[in-house]
Amino acid sequence: MQDTAIIHNEILRLKEDRHAIILAHNYQTADVQDIADLTGDSLELARAAATMEGDVIVFCGVDFMAETAAIISPEKTVLLPSQDACCPMADMITADELKLVKSRHPDAAVVCYVNTTAEVKAESDICCTSSNAVKVVNSLKEDQIIFVPDRNLALYTQRFTKKEILPWEGFCSVHDRITPAHVRQAHDLHPDAVILVHPECRPEVIDLADHVASTSGIIRHVCNSSEKEFIIGTEIGILHRLTRECPTKKCYPLSIAAICMNMKKTDLSKVRHALLELQPRITVPDEIAHRARRAIERMLAV
Ligand code: 13P
Ligand code: SF4
């Protein structure tokens, strides 16, 4: 295998030649995070895709994230270095299934988590991410909200709104696998640690947490807190930024099994290949992109 430093330098040279930016999600491997221009949560990356200068976006994440970037920046070439990096939760609802739910609740607004296909976004009124779901729901005039596809995020959002939320039964298997037993075990090992979890966790796990936030929200909380120890209830890739940005804090994973294999499919050689070949490229048909863009832009304006 070629030396990481050599690949690293080649990527930097190609990035310059292509006038490219590299965006990485907080769950990416340390190598990939370290080469990125920005590492962040879904909302930060969507904003960056819409505003950062460049002709090419190399999106180190999963397919729905690259699709979102391609929808909001159609003039840019959007590359997903690992073409098969997908989010199984995003495939738990289809546009046809959503149309059926809409026909049963004609007065309800549809909020879709960004973890959805472009076709589902095109059928939705507005998107949300884990960091703005409550704000998005409360910004709507409708009293009834069809919320897809993550039932756990829907139930978490319900705690902060008087509106009636109708959740779809999707879930993230990485977060849904975390149980109250994991929380109790981690708490027994680190009784002074603050417990932080992602809103994709089950309600009974959320009930045991001190604080609930998106991936970047968790990082901000740890860095700004006067506490010293934290139990982190989300995918373990987040620990790299926590170690780098809050080196004086001790962070323990709530579950070492919380690994999103799709987020780990991207590596430096795939990033280099993407920049060299300008492939795999993510595009969204105009008619779908046009309707999906409305839902994404409406979220970005909230
Ligand atoms: P964030 O928006 O909090 O980064 O979460 C994205 C995700 O896929 C969580 O599983
Ligand atoms: Fe999808 Fe879960 Fe992986 Fe996030 S962690 S990309 S929600 S499977």
- CB 21 less than 6 A from any atom of ligand 2: no
Classify residue 128 as exposed, middle or buried by CB count within 10 Å of its CB (0-12, 13-18, 19+). buried
The CB of 195 under 6 Å from ligand 2? The reply is no
Name the residue at shortest CA distance from atom 6 of ligand 1.
42
Q: Report whether residue 263 contacts ligand 2, using a CB cutoff of 6 Å.
A: yes
Query: Which residues fall within 8 angstroms of residue 217, CB to CB, at 6 or more apart?
Result: 41, 130, 131
Which tokens is 96 given?
């046809």
The structural domains of the chain, ordered by start, are: 2-86+263-283 (3.40.50.10800), 90-171+289-301 (3.40.50.10800), 178-253 (3.40.50.10800)
**pLDDT tens, position by position, for the chain (302 residues)?**
568 889 999 999 999 999 999 999 999 999 999 999 999 999 999 999 999 999 999 999 999 999 999 999 999 999 999 999 999 999 999 999 999 999 999 999 999 999 999 999 999 999 999 999 999 999 999 999 999 999 999 999 999 999 999 999 999 999 999 999 999 999 999 999 999 999 999 999 999 999 999 999 999 999 999 999 999 999 999 999 999 999 999 999 999 999 999 999 999 999 999 999 999 999 999 999 999 999 999 999 99
- For residue 236, which ligand has an atom nearest its CA? 2
Report d(CA 239, CA 221) in Å as an integer.
13
- Measure 61 CA to ligand 1 centroid, in angstroms: 10
C-alpha 2 to ligand 1 mean position (Å): 31
pTM score over 0.85: yes
Which of 25, 60, 87 is the best mutation target for the ligand 2 pocket, counting ligand atoms within 8 Å of the beta carbon and taking the most?
87
Find out whether the beta carbon of 88 lies less than 6 Å from any atom of ligand 2: yes
Contact (Cβ atoms closer than 8 angstroms) between residue 183 and residue 209: yes
Token couple for 155: 């139930």
291 vs 284: CA distance, rounded Å: 11
Atom of ligand 1 nearest to the CA of 217: 3
Residue nearest atom 6 in ligand 2 by C-alpha distance: 87
Q: How far is the CA of 89 from the centre of ligand 2 (A)?
A: 7
Of the ligands numbered here, which is closest to the C-alpha atom of 89?
A: 2
What's the pLDDT score for residue 1?
A: 53
The reported pLDDT for the residue numbered 5 is: 87
Q: Is the CB of 66 under 6 A from ligand 2?
A: no
Pocket of ligand 1, beta carbon within 6 A:
26, 41-42, 115, 129-130, 172, 200, 214-215
